[in-house]
């Protein structure tokens, strides 16, 4: 009974909100042993983080309330302990790392100071703490530990900050490390490195690792066992391979089916002869820094071109310059025989209609003070020639139907919808202008997998119905695999490689494209295991060579 290191039994947590009581998790039970890697998998709002928060005593009470259950750590119930007793366990025995390392590091202290502090608080001498800090920094792969310890958090990259967080969490040699979405904010190549680091550290120290994630790929990469949660309940648990191979619950089946990058790639169709938008030699620099360097590509009518790159690759700057949100430094973008970059304000206004954009975060791209009707009809307030006022109501309803929402939604405000629904509203708004090209800047990155699949299906349908061309910007290769016709891979502001989807995915010619493909995580544990093995062989070969 008590032979597990950490065991959560029949845990139920409620939150009192103005809308009544919300049962965040109900009857959740799981356990973790030392040397074990358990993943809790769920979409946003599934309650996946709640049980870990209960373990760490992070639930605010009230409004939260633990209505039933036990949390046993080494056989004693954490919920019966006093705050002081729990503080001795938190940090020392159970440590936690979070999604966004920047907001969890204090910006006014150096990285080294913050790690030392963790050690000295728990009774290590100053001198020893400094020594240990340098060892830890070295262990988590921070280059040049002595200099790095004197740097401030903002001087590190996102991946390095997550390494710092891991160093801090491991400083006291905890028995359990809880990682809440540790790699969600990171680029794929960095994500792979961080997961590898976590895996190594876990093997080395024999600690228990609890990973909370929404990503099947992360589960496949690192977890032995997985708990699948939906709407506050555990729907299924078992080993990662069993769950992936033989999901028994319909929710798990849907979740696995929704994972991107599994469908058929579109055949290499012949492109239409004339380019709708032709970008030539586009560069954009901010001072001395060149964000986009000499980018050229064509977008045909009705075609979907995906631009893939990691953060800092210049893909969003490219979109912004095409829309004249930022002025290009040099280059041309020929649309219907005219250069977008030299258009006068008046000509630009006419062309605005035809090139629209859907943003990454629909929460921010919809004005919170406007109703859905106002948001969509704003297009016709601005461009009066599109539609006479008497038809607005019908057209709003038609557009809402087209994007899979119901006409009654027109009276509501953006905050009353879920993320996926908001993105549909943003798409409806773009469609209101009857554009020829829609630029999707990370349009599905902030959405859950299932919703992501739905929005992509919607975009594909609209493309066929309305003969739209998409410029689809993403950081994630699998997402564009079943959707795009062509892929452009960008790195450091340059186009590394471009070609049809089939060519990029099956026969990438550039090493960067290959590393991107290799780092993106496959939801199949077996495939990930095979990839891990090849990586190890490669690194071993490199070691022997050097």
Partner 1 sequence: MQCLTRASGIDQLNNTGTDTLLVADAPSPVIQIFRMLWRDKLATTAAIFLLAVICCALFGPMLLEDVATKQNLRGRNAPPFDFSTAWTFWLGGDALGRPLLARIIVAASNTIMVAAGAVFFSLLIGSTLGLIAGYTSKLGSQIIMRLADVIMSFPSLLLAVIVLYMLPASVGNLIIVLAITRIPVYLRTARAEVLEIRERMFVQAATIMGASTPRIVFRHILPLVFPTLITIATLDFAFVMLAESSLSFLGIGIQPPEITWGLMVAQGRPYLTSAWWLSFWPGLAIILTTLSLNLLSNWMRVALDPQQRWRLETSQQSD
Which residues of the shown chain bind partner 1 in the complex (CB under 8 A)? 17-20, 22, 24, 43-45, 323, 325, 348-349, 352-353, 355-357, 359, 361, 364-369, 371, 378-379, 381-383, 408, 411-413, 415-421, 426, 429, 433, 448, 450-451
Q: Which is nearer to partner 1, 81 or 351 (CB)?
A: 351
Residue the block writes with tokens 């939801």 = 523
Nearer to partner 1, 8 or 433 (CB): 433
How many Cβ atoms sit within 10 Å of the Cβ of residue 1? 7
Considering the complex, state which of residue 175 and residue 448 has its C-beta at the smaller distance from partner 1.
Answer: 448
Spatial separation of the C-alpha atoms in residues 177 and 101, rounded to whole Å: 15
- Give whichever of 370 and 518 is closer to partner 1, judged by the CB atom: 370
Those residues whose C-beta lies under 8 Å from the C-beta of residue 89, and which sit 6 or more positions away, are 73, 78, 81
Q: What is the SS3 assignment for 441-479?
A: ECCCCCCCHHHHHHHHHHHHHHHHHHCCEEEEEECCHHH
Which residue's CB is nearer to partner 1, number 92 or number 363? 363
**Closer residue to partner 1 in complex, CB, 331/420:** 420
Q: Which one, 355 or 480, has the nearer CB to partner 1?
A: 355
Bridge partners, 304 (sequence order): 470
Q: How near is the Cβ of 63 to partner 1 at its closest, in Å?
A: 11
CB of 109 to partner 1, least distance (A): 27
Q: In 390-434, which residue ranges form alpha helices assigned H by DSSP?
A: 392-402, 419-432
Please, are residues 375 and 367 in contact by the beta-carbon 8 Å criterion? yes
Minimum distance of partner 1 from residue 352's CB (angstroms): 4
3-class SS at 198?
helix
Beta strands in 82-153 (DSSP E): 94-97
Burial 295-332 (b: 16+ CB within 10 A, else e): bebbbbebbbbbbbbbeebbbbbbbbbbbbebebbebb
Q: From the centroid of its chain, how far is CA 281?
A: 31
Q: What is the closest distance, in whole angstroms, from the C-beta atom of residue 428 to partner 1 in the complex? A: 13
Write down the least CB distance from residue 43 to partner 1, Å.
6
CB of residue 365 to partner 1, shortest distance in Å? 4
Closest CA to 426 of 367, 383, 386: 367
Of 172 and 348, which CB lies nearer to partner 1 in the complex structure? Answer: 348
| The token pair that represents 414 in the structure block | 């953006």
CB of 328 to partner 1, least distance (A): 16
CB of 202 to partner 1, least distance (A): 31
């Amino acid at each position: 009974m008590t032979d597990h290191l950490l065991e959560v039994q029949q845990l139920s947590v409620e939150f009192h909100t103005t809308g009544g009581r919300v049962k965040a998790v109900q009857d959740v039970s799981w356990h973790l042993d030392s040397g074990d890697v358990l993943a809790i998998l769920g979409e946003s709002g599934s309650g996946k983080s709640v049980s870990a928060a209960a373990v760490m005593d992070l639930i605010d009470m009230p409004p939260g309330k633990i209505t039933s259950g036990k949390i046993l750590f080494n056989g004693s119930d954490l919920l019966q302990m006093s705050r002081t007793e729990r503080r001795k366990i938190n940090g020392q025995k159970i440590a936690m790392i979070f999604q966004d390392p920047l907001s969890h590091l204090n910006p006014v202290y150096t990285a080294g100071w913050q790690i030392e502090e963790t050690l000295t608080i728990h009774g290590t001498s100053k001198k020893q703490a400094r020594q240990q800090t340098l060892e830890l920094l070295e262990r988590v792969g921070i280059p040049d530990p002595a200099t790095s310890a004197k740097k401030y958090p903002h001087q590190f990259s996102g991946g390095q900050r997550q390494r710092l967080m891991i160093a801090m969490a491991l400083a006291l040699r905890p028995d359990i490390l809880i990682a809440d979405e540790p790699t969600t904010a990171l680029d794929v190549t960095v994500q792979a490195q961080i997961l590898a680091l976590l895996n190594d550290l876990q093997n080395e120290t024999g600690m228990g690792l609890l990973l909370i994630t929404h990503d099947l790929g992360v589960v496949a990469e690192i977890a032995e066992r997985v708990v699948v949660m939906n709407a506050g309940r555990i729907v299924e648990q078992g080993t990662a391979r069993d769950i992936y191979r033989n999901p028994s619950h319909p929710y798990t089946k849907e979740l696995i089916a929704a994972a991107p990058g599994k469908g058929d790639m579109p055949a290499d169709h012949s492109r239409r002869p004339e380019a709708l938008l032709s970008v030539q030699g586009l560069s954009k620099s901010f001072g001395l820094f060149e964000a986009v360097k000499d980018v050229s590509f064509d977008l045909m009518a009705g075609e979907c071109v995906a631009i893939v790159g990691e953060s800092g690759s210049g893909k969003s700057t490219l979109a912004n310059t095409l829309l004249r949100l930022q002025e290009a430094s040099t280059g041309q973008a020929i649309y219907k025989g005219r250069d977008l970059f030299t258009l006068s304000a008046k000509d630009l206004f006419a062309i605005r209609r035809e090139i629209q954009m859907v943003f990454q975060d629909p929460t921010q791209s919809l004005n919170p003070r406007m109703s859905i009707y106002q948001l969509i009809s704003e297009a016709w307030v601005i461009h009066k020639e599109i539609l006479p006022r008497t038809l607005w109501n019908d057209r709003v309803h038609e557009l809402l139907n087209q994007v899979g929402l119901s006409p009654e939604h027109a009276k509501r405000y953006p905050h009353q919808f879920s993320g996926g629904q908001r993105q549909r509203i943003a798409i409806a708004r773009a469609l209101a202008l009857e554009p020829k090209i829609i630029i999707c800047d990370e349009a599905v990155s902030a959405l859950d997998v299932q919703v992501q699949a739905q929005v992509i299906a919607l975009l594909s349908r609209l493309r066929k119905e309305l003969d739209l061309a998409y410029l689809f910007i993403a950081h994630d290769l699998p997402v564009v695999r079943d959707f795009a016709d062509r892929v452009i891979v960008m790195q450091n502001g340059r186009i590394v490689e471009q070609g049809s989807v089939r060519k990029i995915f099956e026969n990438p010619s550039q090493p960067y494209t290959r590393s991107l493909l290799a780092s993106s995580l496959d939801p199949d544990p077996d495939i990930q295991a095979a990839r891990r093995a090849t990586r190890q062989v490669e690194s071993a070969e490199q070691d022997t060579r050097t």
